[in-house]
Amino acid sequence: MGFKPDLTRRDVTPKAMFLNRRQIMAGAAGLSLTGLIGRQARAQDALEPNSMEEIAGYNNFYEFGTGKEDPAKYAHMLTTSPWSIEVGGMVDKPGNYSLDDILSGVDIEERIYRFRCVEAWSMVIPWNGFELNQLLDQVGVQSRAKYVAFETAYRPDEMPGVRFPVVEWPYVEGLRLDEAMHPLTIMATGIYGETIPNQNGAPIRLVVPWKYGFKSIKSIVKITLTDQEPPTTWNKANPREYGFYSNVNPNVDHPRWSQATERVIGGGIFAARKETQMFNGYEEQVASLYDGMDLSENF
């Protein structure tokens, strides 16, 4: 059964309003899809996505600096065309694939997803992209593969943040294969129907909406299929605070702050914090991936 959005552009903030920092954002509007996803999303409060200025002006991309505004200041230095992704490991068709070739073989669509950061702030973002499973099907995943590893571009001349040992560079992430193949997992190439801004991970990034934002690795240059759990940047830096799975879970706090509530970006200075939803509101679609797992141990 396919998963298709039933939220449309009519549900998205018009572009003129999208550029207004004062636009009120919506915290509970998840992706609406047919079947289960559609029913769940319609039960949530009908609120508006964030503005482009909020999405592009407040984010984490440590390759350009540790401040929330640093990526917007410095990411213009990144050259995003031409771009290619090296695909290897346990695949039938390893190779260096140009982004143009990748996009010619997939179906681009709009997905409106809630985005939850581990620092307990959230947004709603209208992504344009394609299901990761389409790319994996193209390259042919071999039967022994269990995980998918990702790597971000490492360009000291274009990324001033990598000159400092904030984390071990290049940035790496990973998913279990069934997570990567899930239809909610997408490779995003745009926001609001336009090319994705550099600071948001141009020209292509991962988006896994039920996980904390740092799992959605940006500016991807390498994808590797493997039978071993791959290392991930924040888990290597501090395994006590950042687990491999990093599913949004209000019942498992970060060691330094609660994850039970979240601050909605764009909600205004006096806006009340919202209760965090299990799996960021996508529990009905993804909880079965973790049947039998202790989510406090596998955080």
- Give the C-alpha separation, 26 to 114, whole Å: 9
Residue 3, domain member (yes or no):
no
CA distance 149 to 87: 10
In a domain? residue 259: yes
Does any domain span residue 152?
yes
Whether 221 is covered by a domain: the verdict is: yes
Q: What is the DSSP letter of 95?
A: E
Secondary element (H or E) of residue 87: strand 84-89
Type of residue numbered 225: L
Residue closest to 113 by CA, chosen among 122, 105, 104 = 122
CA torsion through residues 51, 264, 68, 198, sign = negative
| 145: in domain | yes
Indicate whether 2 belongs to any domain: no
Structural domain boundaries, residue 48: 9-290
The answer to the question of residue 271 being in a domain is: yes
pLDDT beyond 60 at 143? yes
Cα–Cα separations (whole angstroms), residue 226 to 91, 148, 204, 216: 9, 6, 21, 19
Of the candidates 107, 130, 225, 137, the one whose C-alpha atom is nearest the C-alpha of residue 185 is 130
Closest by Cα among 85, 192, 71 to 129: 192
48 Cβ contact list (under 8 Å, min separation 6) = 11, 12, 13, 23, 24, 25, 26, 29, 124
Integer Cα distance of 48 and 246 in angstroms: 26
Q: What percent of the chain has pLDDT over 90?
A: 82
**Is 50 exceeded by the pLDDT of residue 103?**
yes
CATH of the domain at 236: 3.90.420.10
Task: State pLDDT tens for residues 257-272.
Answer: 999 999 999 988 788 8
235 vs 238: CA distance, rounded Å: 5
Helix (H) or strand (E) holding 97: strand 95-98
pLDDT in tens, 112-136: 999 999 999 999 999 999 999 999 9
Give the chain's domain count. 1
**Rounded distance between C-alpha atoms, residue 84 and residue 39, angstroms:** 38
pLDDT of residue 46: 52
Could you read off the pLDDT of 214-263 as tens digits, one per residue? 999 999 999 999 999 999 999 999 999 999 999 999 999 999 999 999 99
Query: What pLDDT was estimated at residue 210?
Result: 98
Whole-number pLDDT of residue 270: 82
Residue 298 lies in a domain: no
Which amino acid belongs to residue 209?
P
